[in-house]
Amino acid sequence: MNTAKTKVIRFHQIGDASNLRIDSLPLAKPKENELQIKVEAIGLNRAEVMFREGAYLETPELPSRLGYEAAGIVEAIGKNVQGFSIGDQVSTVPAFSMGEYGVYAERAVVPVHAVAKAPEGFNSKQSAAIWMQYITAYGAIIDIAQLKQGQYILITAASSSVGVAAIHLAKHLGARIIATTRGSSKISFLQEQGADHVIQTDVEDLVAETMRITQQRGVELVFDPIGGPLVSQLAEASAQGARIIEYGALDDEPTPFPLFTALAKGLVIQGYTLFEITQNEEKLAAAKTYLLDLFNSGAALPVIDKVFPFEEMQEAHRYMESNQQMGKIVVDVSTAN
């Protein structure tokens, strides 16, 4: 009889970060097409905050696991798994149900299609800080919009981990990047990441500044996780025939459709999530290949804002909700005791 146990962070009711608890659960063995990973680091995402609050695409069944991104060492392999060996350094790709496979744990079992080899030279914290944001940005900027050299992209909430990844990918393509932020504290950070222009939206007019920068042409692509009334401004700041990609709903106000501006400019305004990539076998394989090349060459490197110990997951979630971070929040599982 298997009596081995592992520490798993779960929530037993919907609500704030205080509901996150460390539970000791039996260690499940990997089934067919699954791997068991000894987790060394966890990357945090806004999706996990929303899932904990009951405001995500997936509805939790309580008590629920959570977590999309973890990095560590392969400890056990299920049947029919190919391409991985015990001892491999790997990280997980958000291509599974959090409630079923959530990786906030000392040890996690995940489906093999949602596992990737760690990039060359990356430590576990870096490996836990790549896939969610870079696949999200890749799907929008490269797979859907096919952003070209010299085109303008407007990236809102740009200091988030996805925003930073979008800056890196757009810079690699040779696009011209306009990033937005509230407050002056993140301007130099965004410039260091590769933004050509930064608009401080609490003191500058987003539309006027965007049109000034683009010589009244507007931007060809908008990449926005905020939604709400801001979408009307984004439409005004867009070029003729531009595309606005909405990948989140940080603003809880209704999102009006800017019909007349969209008609006048022939805009494409669409919703998008990374699951359009991760739930498509061919697209996911292409994303992994493209991004691993960038990681291995050093053309894209994750930015880690702050590291919390495993026992302070509640504090890590509260920090994410404060919107102070510039880059990725990571939890160090090696501190678990």
SS3 state of residue 331? strand
Q: CA-CA distance, 255 to 218, in Å (whole number)?
A: 21
Per-residue pLDDT of the chain (337 residues), as tens digits, is: 457 899 999 999 999 999 999 999 999 999 999 999 999 999 999 999 999 999 998 999 999 999 999 999 999 999 999 999 999 999 999 999 999 999 999 999 999 999 999 999 999 999 999 999 999 999 999 999 999 999 999 999 999 999 999 999 999 999 999 999 998 999 999 999 999 999 999 999 999 999 999 999 999 999 999 999 999 999 999 999 999 999 998 898 999 999 999 999 999 999 999 999 999 999 999 999 999 999 999 999 999 999 999 999 999 999 999 988 998 999 999 876 6
- pTM above the 0.85 mark? yes
Q: CA-CA distance, 104 to 253, in Å (whole number)?
A: 31
Q: CA-CA distance, 248 to 241, in Å (whole number)?
A: 22
CATH 3.90.180.10 maps onto the chain at 5-130+302-335, 133-275
Determine the CATH number of domain 133-275: 3.90.180.10
Q: CA-CA distance, 6 to 9, in Å (whole number)?
A: 10
Looking at the structure, give the CATH architecture of the domain made up of residues 5-130+302-335.
Answer: Alpha-Beta Complex (3.90)
DSSP string, 276-307: HHHTSHHHHHHHHHHHHHHHHHTSS---EEEE
Q: CA-CA distance, 42 to 92, in Å (whole number)?
A: 10
> Token pair for residue 229?
């009334």
Neighbour count for residue 208 (Cβ, 10 Å): 12
Give the position of tokens 């996911």: 284
Q: CA-CA distance, 300 to 293, in Å (whole number)?
A: 9
